[in-house]
Amino acid sequence: MAHSLSKYADFEVLREQAISLRRAGLSRRRIRDRLHIDNNDILNRLLEGEPPPDWTRRPNAKDELRDRARELRLQGWTYDQIQVELGCSKSSISLWVRDLPKPEPRPASEQAKLAGRKRWDHELAQRDIERQCTKAAAAATIGALSDRELFLLGVGLYWAEGSKDKKYDRRECVTFVNSDPGMIEVFLRWLDLLGVERGRLRFTVMIHETADVAEAERYWADLVGSNRAAFYKTTLKRHNPKTVRKNVGESYRGCLAIKVRQSAELYRRIEGAWYGIVLSAQSSDPSNRT
């Protein structure tokens, strides 16, 4: 019983975060990205009863939903399937499609398969909820970061994902590349902590040529809060017809490269700080560990 209550509490924490982001004006897609939710059914449950922000309202929004609902109904979709797909209520769906013929009854074997699939979908949804709740509970334990914590985190982050100087290839320039929006935001906050002015930053979008390049460029510019003047020409990855891409869909926006101009001295400080972390970790003196 205590375990069930704990999971319920974790779901409520996740729901509060989702509603807070919605009220801040974020789109459903941005909320999905922030909370790392990849299931529309879960997102619908988290935002249930929360009206969309005004900027999403369009005069013909319901007309488009109604037309899509009718189209799906004519294809034989059930009310439950249409609700999950469109995120609207069954009562609205009923009003929109009640004049259409009901789908033909399915054979018993097919109905059994559909029932099994529905049970499995429910199981997957429950697993996803537990997964998201675990993540939300872990996120809630972090709290505010001190400047020292952010500094150490940023050094480790850069040494894992940033460019490094090599004896055979001298490149003492701070350059960071990643596809995770959250990691990009943390890196920018870390540069702020180090006193790096935003005017020293230059950005490059790196993306597959078959993706929505213009949308990706707008997304990254909005995320970093910079205009296009700070962006170099986008780097396009050519398509190999022999490969099957998995990085597709609306969530794929390629990578963003961040370069700090005139950053040789900053790079040396980062490298020195990283070696300091390594030495501290190797030390047997507990007082050196924080």
pLDDT higher than 70, residue 207: yes
**Predicted TM-score of the model (pTM):** 0.58
- Return the pLDDT at 25: 82
Q: Give the integer Cα–Cα distance in Å for 255 and 150.
A: 23
Parse the chain into domains and list their residue ranges: 2-140, 147-288
Report, as an integer, the average pLDDT of 16-29: 85
- Return the pLDDT at 245: 64
Beta strands in the chain (DSSP E): 175-178, 201-208, 235-237, 255-260
Vertex 140: Cα angle to 135 and 141 (nearest 5): 100
Give the residue, 141 or 37, on which the prediction is more confident.
141
- Return the pLDDT at 119: 80
**CA proximity to 51, closest of 66, 61, 63, 36:** 61
pLDDT tier, 2 (very low <50, low <70, confident <90, very high otherwise) = very low
Q: Give the integer Cα–Cα distance in Å for 234 and 73.
A: 42
Report, as an integer, the average pLDDT of 159-163: 93
> What's the mean pLDDT when you consider all of the chain?
84
- Return the pLDDT at 3: 38
Sign, CA dihedral 215-217-222-223, equals positive
pLDDT higher than 50, residue 172: yes
Give 213-253 pLDDT, tens digit per residue: 999 999 999 999 988 889 999 999 887 776 666 667 778 89
Give 123-151 pLDDT, tens digit per residue: 888 888 888 889 888 988 988 999 999 99
Give the residue, 108 or 189, on which the prediction is more confident.
189
Give the residue, 260 or 87, on which the prediction is more confident.
260
- Return the pLDDT at 288: 52
pLDDT higher than 80, residue 118: no
